Structure 1
Amino acid sequence: MVPKKWLSRASGFVMVAGLLLLWQLSSLYWVQSTNWPPVTEIAKALVAGMRSGELPEVFGSSLYRMLLGYAAGVSVAVALGLCMATMRWVRASLEPMLEFLRPIPIPAIVPPLILILGIDDAMKIFVVAFSAFFPVLINTMAGVRSVEPTALAVARTFKHSRIAVVLKVTVPASLPYILAGMRVSLALALIVTVVAEMIAGSAGIGYYILTMQYAMRASDMYASIFLLAATGYLLNRLILSVEHNVLHWYHRNATT
């Protein structure tokens, strides 16, 4: 018997293949435009870009900035979320400012950041960290609030220090929420990296996509977009794998 999850995943790939086939047929028979190239031409451009090293270099620089910003944003969000959820005075002091900053759209903060940090990597890394920060912060606080009071009471009964209770009880119990926030933030980090490079970039995948558009090289533009989609998919699968390995106990209980 083939596992159901494999069948479900296979049906998803069949859907993608069907859409690509429809694209191919539409470009050959229904849409006559240089801006809508056949999928076969896009595939050729993708292979050529990989062989020449152009696409790996472009994606490497973008992933470098994305991962640095993502790591910084997640680290600060987890630490601050634990502090705000466990210490009332920290939450009372920081919550108004954070709620003021949270609704600001990312494109709106790029222009002032250009004036402060310039258009180099520092600005892009900060923007990525900013976008990754809030989903993890909110989920961390929600995870801490969901910890069973009985578990905390038992830890205090055994005279554990406050730091020990946080590290041994609060953090492990909050991990499902924290990792869920990290998964959301990972997709946001990739999106924001591309947007920042489009707005103020001289390198990276966002800048490359715009350059191909201006050069009327539609096949190369779509090839980079396809590769971007594949990168996002692989990153999502990676964090899901980490989540299932770290939280094997949680997923086992959820299925029982």
Structure 2
Amino acid sequence: MRAPTSGTWLVLGLLALWEASARFGWVDSPNWPPVTEVLRALWQDSVTGELPARVGGSLYRMAAGLLAGGAAGVAVGLAFALVPLTARLFGLVVEAVRPIPIPAVIPPLVLFLGLDDPMKITVVALTVFFPVLTNTMQGVRAVEAEALAMGRTFGIGPWRRAACIVLPSCLPYTLAGLRVALGLALVVTVVAEMIAGEQGVGSYLVLMQFAGRAPEMYATVLLLAGLGYALNRGFVALEHRAIHWWFAMGR
């Protein structure tokens, strides 16, 4: 069994400080419960099935948006990098939409798509699209010219070169963009659920706030922190398996 790292001890120390600050009155607020009460609330809501059901719904919406936005980002990034005409035609539109804050996009999407899953998935997809697009384009630019020249020498057509040479070469960059997008996707999913809808972790968090149930509210925040950490660790493990050759080269 691996020994706890310094980061683990820091987290445990902060939790202990939280417990002491609430128990000994260092923070004089009725809305600052001890961490043991928060963990108890987290356990109770998990056992009843309330939180697992909401987490499952949030993960479904996040995953759907991540897949849609990631696929679109890779496709458009390859098109922009390999076919300059597409960048000249659509580059201005992409650059104009990129700076718009995602929360500002939610109200118009509510009018068009309503409050259900299509709106939330679209918001997540838009969030994921831009980091994947940018990293994919950067990855295409990093492809060695000698590899492309060798492909042309052997008579490999442009589409096959893109699939067999360019895409594998830029995969580390694309996965790096997806890793950034993964964290953003979780954040935006929760924000969308907080603003619109009655399902998911975000809606539950707002509901506990309005109900004045501080332990359940903080329990949801801790759950989101743990969920984000677990998703990141899982993606890193998947990344190391998918591009093991990249890490073997000491990249």
Question: TM class, shorter-chain normalised?
Answer: over 0.9
Q: 1:142 aligns with which of 138, 141, 145?
A: 138
Q: What's the counterpart of residue 77 of structure 2?
A: 81
Q: Deviations for 1:216-240, whole angstroms, at most 9, x for unmatched residues? A: 1000011111111111111101110
Q: What's the counterpart of residue 113 of structure 2?
A: 117
- Aligned-pair Cα RMSD in Å: 1.3
**Aligned pair 1:219/2:215, yes or no?**
yes
Report SS of the residue matched to 2:75.
helix
The one-letter code sitting in structure 1 at the alignment partner of 2:64 is L
Q: 2:5 aligns with which of 10, 18, 34?
A: 10
The one-letter code sitting in structure 2 at the alignment partner of 1:26 is S
Report SS of the residue matched to 2:177.
helix
Q: 2:173 aligns with which of 167, 177, 180?
A: 177
Q: 2:241 aligns with which of 227, 241, 245?
A: 245
Using the alignment, how far apart are the partners of 1:112 and 1:176 within structure 2?
Answer: 35
TM-score under structure 2 length normalisation: 0.97
**Aligned pair 1:133/2:129, yes or no?**
yes
Q: 1:92 aligns with which of 82, 88, 93?
A: 88
Deviation at 1:32, TM superposition (A): 3.1
Using the alignment, how far apart are the partners of 1:71 and 1:11 within structure 2?
Answer: 35
Using the aligned pairs only, state the percent identity: 50
- Structure 1's consecutive aligned runs of 4 or more residues displaced over 3 angstroms after TM superposition are none
Q: What's the counterpart of residue 168 of structure 1?
A: 164
Q: 2:51 aligns with which of 36, 41, 55?
A: 55
Q: Which stretch has the larger CA shift, 24-33 or 208-217?
A: 24-33
Q: What's the counterpart of residue 71 of structure 1?
A: 67
Using the alignment, how far apart are the partners of 1:246 and 1:129 within structure 2?
Answer: 23
Deviation at 1:118, TM superposition (A): 0.8
Q: Deviations for 1:19-74, whole angstroms, at most 9, x for unmatched residues? A: 11111111111123221100100010011011000000111111111111111000
Using the alignment, how far apart are the partners of 1:69 and 1:216 within structure 2?
Answer: 32
Q: 1:34 aligns with which of 30, 36, 45?
A: 30
Q: What's the counterpart of residue 203 of structure 1?
A: 199
Report SS of the residue matched to 2:143.
coil
Q: Deviations for 1:154-204, whole angstroms, at most 9, x for unmatched residues? A: 111010111111111101110110000000000010000011111112111
**Aligned pair 1:19/2:29, yes or no?**
no
Using the alignment, how far apart are the partners of 1:85 and 1:242 within structure 2?
Answer: 26
Using the alignment, how far apart are the partners of 1:153 and 1:254 within structure 2?
Answer: 25
Using the alignment, how far apart are the partners of 1:254 and 1:171 within structure 2?
Answer: 20
> Any stretches of 5+ residues in structure 1 without a counterpart?
none
The one-letter code sitting in structure 1 at the alignment partner of 2:199 is A
Using the alignment, how far apart are the partners of 1:127 and 1:247 within structure 2?
Answer: 29
Deviation at 1:11, TM superposition (A): 1.4
Q: Deviations for 1:68-126, whole angstroms, at most 9, x for unmatched residues? A: 11110001110111111100111111100000000000111111111111111111110
Deviation at 1:13, TM superposition (A): 1.1
The one-letter code sitting in structure 1 at the alignment partner of 2:109 is L
Report SS of the residue matched to 2:5.
helix
